[in-house]
């Protein structure tokens, strides 16, 4: 993979990307010693971040502001280099974690030696890969080879918030072998991780600045990443073990709950809306979704509550009202019971 460092160009096959990152760090800390016409620290940072998303054609393109921000607004970014110590045979090198807003104009990704995970947090978008458009909405996940030159874009008139995990190196770990095998053979993996899933919780932890505050953050990030990879592997194994096609009525009930979670919804009202016995509905819903309609609805509400706790300054009582749990005491009980901590403690951890 080609890398630009200052005015020098390192051709494919040169030293590893980590070494260029180390040089970037060393240069960015030596601002006083640089000549007046040398690039500043911000320019080095912009250069490295831009390279992490898209293969450059020239150094001038890398440091051009319009290039950096076209189609993508990065909200959080973190580099993790210690995963290989936890899983030395994995082939995984430098990992970049980021959350971003994608515009309809979109952005391209290219690298011969990297893969990219994209998890749709909010809104709806599309990934165009090998001439095929793959629509992604909230909870959808895709893991693909960056050599396929995918293009990410929000749908016209829509906002699209995503979490990205860019993995340098050809992943070949025996710990999540099914995912690695499928990624090599098919070039991409498509899954869905809904509200209340462990995968989504891990994404929250990886993107939280609070995760950096411990005594050994690299070890924490490495274990969280391994857990994330294992969740993908487990989902693939589970899907291959039972090829279940969710009936249209169950999918319609899921969609209805996701759209109307803020309203008061009872099993009786739900069964009336879909003209189905509430006992049969509950049994079939749990069979195909893995949880009851009520538990599914609670997971959606608490997932939305977590977003509001992080992204707004609304009170706990207001957030409970907005997500369809108007009784504050009941909201506190549900949140503590499901998440293991109070809404206030959750908010403080993410500040």
| pLDDT tens-digit series, residues 178-224 | 999 999 999 999 999 988 899 999 999 999 888 988 789 999 999 99
Distance between CA atoms of 152 and 159, rounded to whole angstroms?
12
Mean pLDDT of 325-337: 94
Residue 161 and residue 154: Cα distance in Å, rounded?
9
pLDDT tier for residue 233 given thresholds of 50, 70 and 90: very high
308 has pLDDT over 50: yes
Do residues 173 and 89 touch, judged by C-beta distance below 8 A?
Answer: yes
Query: 201 near 304, Cβ under 8 Å?
Result: no
- Average pLDDT for residues 126-141, to the nearest whole number? 93
Say how far apart CA 46 and CA 342 lie, in whole Å. 38
Superfamily per CATH, domain 73-241: Regulatory protein AraC (2.60.120.280)
State residue 209's pLDDT score.
85
Q: Which residue has the tokens 């096609």?
A: 245
Q: Which pair of tokens denotes residue 108?
A: 């391209």
| Residue 204 pLDDT | 92
Could you tell me which residue, 14 or 145, shows the higher pLDDT? 145
pLDDT band of 350, cuts 50, 70, 90? low
The class (CATH top level) of 248-349 is mainly alpha
In this prediction, residue 151 carries a pLDDT of 94
For residue 70, pLDDT beyond 70: no
Which one has a higher pLDDT value, 219 or 23?
A: 219
Instruction: Please check whether residue 142 is in contact with residue 190, taking contact to mean a CB–CB distance below 8 angstroms.
Output: yes
Measured distance CA(264)–CA(51) in Å, rounded: 48
Distance CA 181, CA 89 (A): 15
How many angstroms separate the CA atoms of 126 and 152, rounded?
A: 6
Looking at the chain, the whole-number percentage of residues with pLDDT higher than 90 is: 61
- For residues 194 and 119, is the Cβ–Cβ distance under 8 A? no
Q: How many CA atoms lie within 13 A of 345 on its CB side?
A: 7
Q: What average pLDDT is seen over the chain?
A: 81
Phi, psi angle pair for 115, to nearest 5°? -125, 160
Determine phi and psi for 79, rounding to 5 degrees.
-100, 135
What is the predicted pLDDT for the residue at 100?
93
Q: How far is CA 300 from CA 3, 255, 304, 334, in A?
A: 43, 11, 6, 12
Range name among 7-21, 203-217, 230-244 with the lowest pLDDT average:
7-21
Residue 33 DSSP symbol: G
Which stretch of 30-39, 107-116, 297-306 has the lowest confidence by average pLDDT?
A: 30-39
Per-residue model confidence (pLDDT) at position 241: 55
CA–CA distance, 347 with 351 (Å, rounded to integer): 6
| Domain definitions of the chain by residue range | 1-69, 73-241, 248-349
Cβ-contact 324, 305 below 8 angstroms: no
Phi, psi of 252 (to 5 degrees): -70, -40
């Amino acid at each position: 993979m080609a890398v630009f460092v200052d005015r020098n160009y390192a051709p494919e096959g040169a030293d590893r990307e980590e070494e260029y990152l180390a040089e970037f760090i060393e240069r960015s800390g030596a601002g006083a010693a640089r000549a007046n016409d040398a690039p500043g620290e911000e320019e080095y940072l912009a250069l490295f971040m831009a390279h992490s998303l898209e293969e450059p054609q020239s150094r001038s393109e890398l440091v051009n502001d319009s290039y950096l921000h076209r189609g993508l607004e990065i909200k959080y970014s973190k580099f993790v280099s210690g995963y290989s110590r936890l899983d030395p045979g994995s082939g995984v090198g430098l990992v970049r974690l980021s959350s971003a807003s994608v515009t309809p104009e979109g952005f391209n990704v290219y690298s011969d030696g990297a893969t990219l995970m994209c998890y749709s947090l909010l809104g709806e978008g599309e990934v165009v890969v090998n001439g095929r458009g793959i629509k992604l909405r909230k909870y959808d996940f895709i893991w693909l080879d960056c050599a396929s030159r995918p293009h990410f874009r929000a749908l016209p008139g829509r906002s699209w918030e995503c979490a990205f995990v860019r993995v340098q190196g050809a992943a070949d770990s025996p710990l999540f072998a099914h995912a690695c095998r499928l990624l090599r053979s098919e070039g991409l993996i498509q899954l869905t991780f809904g509200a209340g899933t462990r995968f989504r919780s891990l994404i929250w932890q990886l993107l939280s600045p609070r995760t950096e505050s411990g005594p050994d953050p690299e070890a924490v990030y490495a274990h969280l990443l391994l857990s994330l990879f294992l969740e993908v592997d487990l989902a693939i194994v589970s899907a291959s073990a039972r090829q279940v096609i969710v009936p249209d009525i169950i999918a319609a009930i899921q969609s209805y709950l996701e759209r109307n979670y803020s309203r008061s919804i009872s099993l009786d009202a739900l069964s009336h809306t879909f003209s189905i016995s509430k006992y049969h509905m509950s049994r079939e819903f749990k069979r195909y979704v893995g949880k009851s309609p009520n538990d599914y609805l609670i997971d959606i509400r608490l997932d939305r509550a977590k977003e509001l706790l992080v992204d707004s300054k609304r009170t706990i009582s207001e957030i409970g009202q907005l997500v369809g749990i108007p009784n504050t005491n009941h909201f506190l009980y549900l949140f503590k019971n499901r998440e293991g901590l109070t809404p206030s403690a959750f908010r403080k951890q993410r500040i």
